[in-house]
Structure 1
Amino acid sequence: MSDPKYGDPVDETHTDDAAHGDDVVGRVNESLAEAEAASRDAVDTPPEHPVAADHAEHVDTAAHAEPVAPEHVETVAAEPAADPLYRGDDLALDYSTGAAAVAPAAGAVAPTAVVTPSEPVVPVVAPAPQPIFVQAPEAPRPRGNRAAAGLIGLLAALTFGVLYLAASLGFRAITGDVTGANVGTEALAALTTWWFWVPVVVFFISFWLLGAIINRGRWAYWVIFGLLVGVASYGGHLLGQLFQAPFWTLTAREGADLVEGQLLAPLAIAAFVIGREITIWFGAWVSSRGARVTEINNEAQREYERTLEAGPRLHQS
């Protein structure tokens, strides 16, 4: 349609239609401008979307074209220009979120992700439970009674010495050698002689040896075998007389005569009796303690057996 000439009548209907068409085209251009602005904001370096030349010509022509009725107006989408640097399928703009998604080019094959472990994969195996070694309790060592027999033997030997000295002073008092005036002096003098200490030492050794043999035995053993201690005490008296002589200054005949004269001496008989009786009574003390030690040993053994029957236990703190 040609532009109206000067002086020709102007069709108002056509003029209004042209103005309305210009308004529609302007809104289309504004929508395209807003889309380009949104794409630039969503992508850091978005590719520019050049407006195709034919589209520009179409828009420019539309501005000068004849007005079209609103019911015949169609929205024309802009097509990308055939620019070798522009790939329309690379960028897809999501107008709902304003984000741009890069799409693969047509005909391109998406690479397959291959996961290559940097280190060999070693399967994790749970460690096997380690055995717990529990030391078995040691069997209790039975307690003995020999040391107690030795200590009690010292008291028994002291008692033997006192009684032996008293018997010696008594026998000498009968003969008149010891009186009330010199009894103290004679007692102190006897403490420095061989005839007194040798029987005491022999009694202690024999008593302790018997206690070491009987150990925790009953008192009956002391009553029976106490006779041996009495015999040892008797021999200790004879040996004490030989040391008192002294025997190294005597001849064999003189030594034999000395021993023969002391075989039935009252002090020799007293040594035998005193040694025998003291062994019996002090042996009762030793056997009484041995019975208590035996009970302690039995209880320790029962506790050990109960521990073995119960088995090992784990104590948690």
Structure 2
Amino acid sequence: MENQKSSSSLKAVIAVLAILLVGSLVYIYKMTSEADTAKTELNSTMTEKESVMKDLQDLKSTYDAAISENTSMSDELIQERDKVVSLMSQLSKSKGDVASLSKYRTQFNSLQANMKVLMTENENLKLANTTLTTQRDSTVVVLGESRKNVEALTGQNEELSKAVEMGSKLTVLNTRGSAFKVRSSGKQIETDKASRADVLRVSFTIAENAIAKSGAKTFYVQVIDGKNNVMGDKNTENFGENTLTYSFVTNVEYENKTMQVTKDLKGKDFVKGTYFINIFDKGQLVSKTSFNLR
């Protein structure tokens, strides 16, 4: 009888130990799996952080190269480059969690999009300046010869007049649209959210043109919102057979030098979507761009 009791007790002990052993193995497996998962996530976030940092460094190098060319857009390029440097500093100090890395990647994508637009405009500006310089130099030479041979070069003078007329037209570049929130202090903060916007800013560059007529110049600015509505004054002007509905008029005093034009369009309840900006010299479209509000 006592042997049977001892045997039963031993079996009970063995059963308890077996249960504890199985529980321990399950616990160890779970902890190991969680540790492996955490390690994998950590490695992934570190790789993403390095990737974003490299992309930002490449973006900065692109701006550095463009700034070294010392064009009339240098100030704007420097401002964008400084935004990239600031984001690099913030990223280097970040803990590298998934949420923050997603935010930095989104900010990088926005900066990269701005860079592509600025690089295109910078190249167009350099090309326009080169073309205008060539036209000006060739026009001066031809005019000098024309004074000596007026009767013999009548036909050439007519062609020259056409070339001067084309070359004297103003070139509008670097057109940009953006939205700002105006604080009670009057400080304006750029935003890409429609719900926060109080004012839209339109800016563009008039390129240098030595042979253009200086003086008062009028440009008609048309701003179309995300629902395809013309914003602002909505005034109408006729140019021959064409009718233009515009948001506002901007008048400038042009002195044959490169100049920056900026004007704000106030509003409220801005809609989400793509906004289009068109710049007209009388009835002729001379520049256009677009931007998004979310």
The TM-score, its normalising length taken from structure 2, stands at: 0.24
Higher relative CO (CA 8 A, sep ≥ 6), structure 1 or 2? 1
Q: Which protein has the bigger strand share?
A: 2
Q: Which protein has the bigger helix share?
A: 1
The TM-score, its normalising length taken from structure 1, stands at: 0.22
